[in-house]
A and B are shown apart, each in its own frame.
Chain A
């Protein structure tokens, strides 16, 4: 049988916040002792004995605490602890003489009734009652608890003694739980998300690199200008070079006209063909070459003699647009049977 005093071994919190104390101590640790000493009319020793009053109150508080602390234990349908508490309270009540003790008795009754109600609802439930302790036991087994083989009593303290849980214990439960929960899967980018961290280190690297390169440029400005040149100059050079080719071919045989297509087409490279057309157009624009149709109505190109060039030009200028596609280019190669390019590609590939 659970005695109130025995149950109060580690009851720390009292209802009114006073420190825990045993019965029979003469010290005053709470403020409600003052009333006992006020002179009341009846001076029956027992009724006004302060130590006895304290003892009764203390017992009541112990009872209340035991009910509150061991609530789950008392709820279990397997024991009668609640009844025992009530019987103990009945005994105490016989000695109650003053309002303060009665108030504590009433408080105990409230707590016990609350518990009783819960116990009753358990009993009232049809079918098997649910015992959280048993549930916990079963769950531990489910989680893979390795119990010690000695069959040691689980009342012993310390986690390590009564078996240890594997590391994935809660993961097992979570896995089982997934089957019961319609949670939306968490959204994550498949290829990971973009982190803003890389840029700062890159900036540092760039600054370091810029410093030496600036110095390098200071040393070599003239050389660079000479070597690379601008795109304009490259084009001009090309144009001049092509003019050179044109003149040389013309001088070889001034009478026979040079077919335009044969001149510009490079059977080995479509892109060079386009470049040749581009550069040739400059010649014509600047009046250094001219195009005319021969007897077969095919375009021919010839350099303009130096004497013929007239500023302003009495001869009429006509514009035309030349377009060429790879297909056309191939057809022209076939039609004119062009085997080799007339304009050799330049050696320096500056573009």
Chain B
């Protein structure tokens, strides 16, 4: 294994140039059993397989992603390789490249690596959401509303917020983490567990606090999915103010320009 690593390291720069769309991470400190095959290994692997086989495996990966995305839980590369790719792991980069292309051209979705260290992927919409009355009468998920409120508060407060602020704000909205909510059930669990697993929020313990306190931040998924500019617009609408009156937040929203990128750290 270690011998194979060295050649792939030397090829790593050319390999990363070849991968388009998904940012496939370098392999130096990879803990997983899959060491990223080099381009020549991929080529050799491709020669042994028929195009139909490669297409079939790509389709399986696409379907795996789509089903996993129903719950909005990120896909781990280790799981993907173990359950879907299996013996085709030698051509893993090629399969991922094709899957990304399928998502892009067929579904209008982007496959993004939100965690380069642990290799986790999510799907987001390539298209901007249409403002105004919803054309599709698809059912809305109230949890999305809850998540949006929390993200808004965190953003307007500069990006990090102590959990008590969130709980007290929610209480004012008749959502009490100590009680069972008729819409959300166990509110605390939804916020600190479900949203965190979906990577909409980060719930981090503040050191040296007694009793233990946590703080909330935006999660990796929120960074790429949620538009800060649009949150400011909503704030302006609610408070009947110009969004630009929140100078710092406005600057923050417009510093990450245009298409949000995975893993970009927002400036505090």
Contacts and interface: CB of A to CB of B under 8 A. Distances in A.
Interface stretch (B2-10, B33-41, B90-98, B153-161): B153-161
A173 B239 CA distance: 15
Interface stretch (B13-21, B42-50, B52-60, B134-142): B134-142
Contacts of B106: none
Nearest to A178: B129
A175 B67 contact: no
A165 interface: yes
A135 B146 contact: no
Nearest to B144: A174
Main secondary structure of the interface of A (DSSP, over half): helix
B157 A130 contact: yes
B230 to A, nearest CB: 4
A31 interface: no
Nearest to A143: B173
A15 B209 CA distance: 12
Given A130-B246, A184-B69, A187-B69, A72 B146 contact: no
Interface string B225-237: 1110011011100
A178 to B, nearest CB: 6
Contacts of B141: 174
A174 B184 CA distance: 13
B255 interface: no
Given A72-B164, A139-B149, A174-B142, A180 B231 contact: yes
Contact of B70 (A139, A140, A186): A186
Contacts of B146: 170, 173
A130 B152 CA distance: 11
Interface in A233-254: none
Classify chain A: how many residues form its interface, as a range: 35 or more
A171 B140 contact: yes
Interface in B226-268: 226-227, 230-231, 233-235, 238-239, 241, 245-250
A171 B145 contact: yes
B158 A187 contact: no
Interface string A1-45: 000000000000101000000000000000000000000000000
Contact of A135 (B125, B156, B245, B249): B156
B70 to A, nearest CB: 5
Contact of B125 (A143, A176, A184, A187): A184
Interface in B191-236: 210-211, 224-227, 230-231, 233-235
A137 B169 CA distance: 10
B145 A177 contact: yes
A218 B93 CA distance: 65
Contacts of B246: 127-128, 130
Contact of B134 (A15, A178, A185): A178
Contacts of A182: 124-129, 224-227
Contacts of A130: 156-157, 235, 246, 249
A136 B123 CA distance: 31
A135 to B, nearest CB: 7
A192 B108 CA distance: 22
A159 B173 CA distance: 10
Most buried by A among B144, B183, B210, B246: B144
Contacts of B162: 71
B177 to A, nearest CB: 15
B146 to A, nearest CB: 7
A183 B225 contact: yes
Interface in A122-172: 125-128, 130, 132-140, 142-143, 159, 165, 170-172
Interface string A297-327: 0000000000000000000000000000000
B226 A181 contact: yes
Contact of B230 (A136, A159, A179): A179
B178 to A, nearest CB: 14
A331 B219 CA distance: 79
B131 interface: yes
Interface in A186-228: 186-188
B130 interface: yes
Given A133-B172, A187-B67, A180 B123 contact: no
6 contacts: A15-B210, A135-B152, A142-B238, A143-B173, A171-B145, A175-B140
Interface of B: 66-67, 69-70, 72, 107, 109, 123-132, 134, 138, 140-149, 152-153, 156-158, 162, 164-165, 168-169, 172-174, 183, 210-211, 224-227, 230-231, 233-235, 238-239, 241, 245-250
Given A132-B153, A174-B142, A181-B227, 9 more contacts: A15-B210, A127-B248, A130-B235, A135-B235, A142-B238, A170-B142, A180-B148, A180-B227, A186-B70
| List of 7 A-B pairs having minimum Cβ-Cβ separation, nearest first | A173-B145, A177-B148, A127-B247, A180-B230, A170-B142, A174-B145, A136-B172
